[in-house]
Amino acid sequence: MATIYDIAKKTGYSISTVSKVLNNYCDVGAKAKKIINEAVEELGYYPSSSARTLSTKKSWTIGVVFVEDAGIGMEHPFFNAVIESFKKSAEKEGYDLLFASNNIGNEPKSYLDHFHYRGVDGVVVVCSDPKSPDVAKLMDSNIPSVVIDLDTRGASVVFSDNIHGSELAVEYLVSLGHKKIAHISGSKELYVGQQRLKGFLRTMKREGLPVPEEYVVDGGYFTFDGGKEAMVKLLKLENKPTAVYVAGDLMAIGAIKAIQEAGFKVPEDISVMGFDDIVIGRYMTPGLTTIKQDTALIGRTAASLLIEQINAKQKQFMSVKIPVSLIERASCRSIK
C-alpha cells in the first residue's frame, strides 16, 4: 500500500507539501497540486483512518441509532430507505456510519456512552418514541445530532408532514364518495401515530362526517400483523366502513390480507389507503393507494443538517418538515 512517503519520493516534493495537498490547504501552487494528485491516483494512495483522524481532528464517523418499540429497525422499508439516502449523502462527504449497540465489552451502556467511546463526530437518531430516555441524553449532550421521524425541541429534526398526509388521505376518499371511513391508527404512544390520527379526526370533522368510536382501531407499532388484527375487528362490525385509511403501508397490507381472507374484495367491497409508499405497495394486487413520504429527501436533509453542525463544531436546532404527496393506485374505488 502506498504511503505519503512514496508520494513525496515520486514527486520530489516534501512530505509537508504532500500533506498540505492531501488535506486541501490553499497555500500550495496549482502545479504542485496537479503533480501530487496525479501521483496519488497513479499509486492508489488512500490515507489511513488513524492518520486522517490525526490531521483533521475528526473520526469521520457518524453514529446511527434506532429507537422504536416494534423491534423491526432496519427491516422496516421506511427506515431502510431513509438510512440508505442518509448513507449516500454522508459518504459523499467522506463519512462512515456506525450502527450503535448498547453493549460494549458485554457491559450494558447507554447509546451516549457508546458514541463517546467510539468518538463519533455526530449522531443520527431514527426515533418514534418521544419519551425515550436515551434520546433525551443524546439531545442534552454536546454531540451534534439530528432526529428523524420525530418533532422534538432541543434538537435538529426532520419529519414528514403527517397531519397534512392524513388530510390528503381523507379528502381523497371523500372525493370518491365515501362517508363511512374508518382509521387503523399507529400506536398512540408514538409521534407519527398521534399526528396521523389527529389529521384524520380533524379532516373528518371538517368534512362533516361522523367517526363512531369503533371506527378508530389501534394497529400498534406499524406492523403487518397489527394491521391485520385491527382490520379483523372492523370486519366484525355490523355497520362496516366502505373505506379504511391505514396509518402505515405495512399495516395496510395486513388489512388487505384480512379483508381477502374474510371473503371480501379490495376495492370492490372496501377501499384501503395507506401511508409511506413502500416499494412493495407498487407491485401488489391491487396496487396500494397511499401517502408518499419522500425518504430520499428526508435522508439527504438529515445528513445536511448533521454535517453542518459537525463542520460548525456546535449543535444547532432546526426543524424541517418534509412535504408528502398522494399516490393513486388501485386499492380505492369511487362509490358515487
pLDDT value, residue 70 = 55
> What are 246-259's pLDDT values in tens digits?
999 999 999 999 99
> What are 166-201's pLDDT values in tens digits?
999 999 999 999 999 999 999 988 889 999 999 999
> What are 269-307's pLDDT values in tens digits?
999 999 999 999 999 999 999 999 999 999 999 999 999
Q: Measuring CA to CA, which residue among 15, 6, 92, 90 is closest to residue 41?
A: 6
On the question of pLDDT at 22 being above 50, the answer is: yes
Q: Which residue has the higher pLDDT, 38 or 111?
A: 38
Identify the weakest region by mean pLDDT among 13-17, 237-241, 325-329: 13-17
Query: Going from the N-terminus, what domains does the chain have, and what CATH number goes with each?
Result: 4-56 (1.10.260.40), 61-160+295-322 (3.40.50.2300), 162-293 (3.40.50.2300)
pTM across the whole model: 0.81
pLDDT value, residue 336 = 79
Positive or negative, the CA dihedral 274, 276, 280, 282 is positive
Q: Check: CB of residue 259 under 8 Å from CB of residue 287.
A: no
| Residue whose cell numbers read 399526528 | 195
Q: Which amino acid is at 197?
A: L
> What are 96-109's pLDDT values in tens digits?
998 875 544 455 66
- Average pLDDT of the chain to the nearest whole number: 88
Using a pLDDT cut of 90, give the percent of the chain over it: 59
C-alpha cell at 222: 406499524
> What are 53-93's pLDDT values in tens digits?
545 567 889 999 876 655 555 667 888 899 999 999 999 88
pLDDT-derived band at 155 (thresholds 50, 70, 90) equals: confident
Q: Which residue has the higher pLDDT, 139 or 178?
A: 178
Q: Phi first, then psi: what are they for 231, rounded to 5°?
A: -65, -35
pLDDT value, residue 103 = 45
Q: Measuring CA to CA, which residue among 317, 326, 61, 307 is closest to residue 169?
A: 326
